[in-house]
Amino acid sequence: MTQDRNAAGAQIPQPRPEVESLQAYSAPLEGRRQMLRLDFNENTIGPSPQVVEALRSIPADHIAIYPEYDGLQQAVIANLALPLQPEQVGLFNGVDAAIHAIFHAYGDRGETLLTTAPTFGYYTPCAQMQGMQIQAVPYEGAAFAFPFEAIRQALLEPAGGRAPRLLLLCNPNNPTGTRLAPQRILELAAAAPHTLVVVDELYEAFTGDSVLPHANFNATPNLLVLRSLAKTAGLAGLRIGFAIGHAAVVDRVSRVTGPYDINSFAVTAAFAALKDQAYVDGYVAEVIAARAWLAEQLQAAGVPHHVEGGNYLLLWPQRDPAVVDQELRVAGILVRAMGGKPLIDGSLRVSIGTLAQMQRFWSAYCSIEGLAG
Ligand SMILES: Cc1ncc(COP(=O)(O)O)c(C=O)c1O
């Protein structure tokens, strides 16, 4: 219950009603350092040595001054090898901050966020803090297929007659891994010019379905693509992400951020990471091979599981998932229990790291679940 006064009887300032009723995005982030972290889909081995070297070489006076961003958009474009202009690349303090800014810039009270379920958990509180309605369309069938027709109908024949303001597509989807072909995304964007179609491509490197090489932002200025250096390049702790789209949209989303939201360490690390694509490619290849290896073990052992895109998969333990989760934790391994999530309640999401890490996971999982392994 809201307390209007504190123990001394002083009035506590009231926030906006949307904030008062908001359930903030919360994730179990503490005490993870010594563990095998398969719970946040992070890079499990750290960034390129060149990133670490660049960070070590930052002179003291660079810490004393505000960060400079010159050339970073160009570096992103060079890394993508696409014919984009710097104004088409927005820089954010992680993709989370980009998502927050998108809702701030485009999500008006009473308008609708259209998305899928289950999907990345941060879209919902961002919509709620703006006072938006949320229409979350479930994935379809045992394979969690993308609900294309239902989404198209919600865009073209919206209940109440008003087109959704925002469509958030996580591709591949976290946590189901569901993939949506770039052409289908373009179809949706072209059919719904009054809706900003945001494609969260955080995990596309592990899948290869990016809409970016196919996008023409002049033809579909309502398309905005999110990329991050968190999951592939290993910069999750430094917080840097990008929103790529039509310059006017990138400008509006960037307007609602602070002037120095990305710190100097993140900028330095980003330059070094973008230059060392070979390191990222090597890591991604290793993860993809480890994903295939783990899927084979699960298949052979008869463990119900679902694996598609992304550096993660879902599996359904025989025993109480909370107990399996806890026993893995005791063995020094963190995974993410999906309890309470629509369609996947009872599953564990396991992030994929290197082959050696997945072998360690599998051996622990087999002994906890009593499998031959
Ligand atoms: C789908 C998705 N989008 C965005 C984020 C946040 O990315 P960043 O670390 O760049 O803020 C995550 C992190 O887990 C995610 O899974």
Calculate the CA 345 to chain-centre distance.
20
157: its two tokens: 């024949």
> What is the Å distance from ligand 1's center to 202 Cα?
6
Position 3 confidence tier, pLDDT thresholds 50, 70, 90? low
Q: Using alpha carbons, select from 130, 91, 31 the residue that is nearest to residue 274.
A: 91
- pLDDT at position 25: 80
Q: What is the pLDDT of residues 14-34, one digit of tens each?
A: 999 999 988 888 777 778 888
Domains and CATH numbers, the chain: 17-45+278-369 (3.90.1150.10), 49-276 (3.40.640.10)
* The model's pTM: 0.96
Q: What is the pLDDT of residues 170-185, one digit of tens each?
A: 999 999 999 999 999 9
Contact 250, 106 (CB under 8 A): no
Pocket test for ligand 1, best of 119, 206, 228, 341 (most atoms within 8 A of CB): 228
Per DSSP, what are the bridge partners of residue 349? 314, 336
> What is the Å distance from ligand 1's center to 95 Cα?
6
Written as one string, the DSSP assignment of 140-193 is BTTTTB--HHHHHHHHHS-TTS---SEEEEESS-TTT-----HHHHHHHHHH-T
Atom of ligand 1 nearest to the CA of 241: 10
Q: What are the helix (H) ranges across 21-147? A: 49-56, 60-64, 72-80, 95-106, 123-129
Q: Is the CB of 170 under 6 A from ligand 1?
A: yes
> What is the Å distance from ligand 1's center to 53 Cα?
25
What average pLDDT does range 45-52 have in this prediction? 98
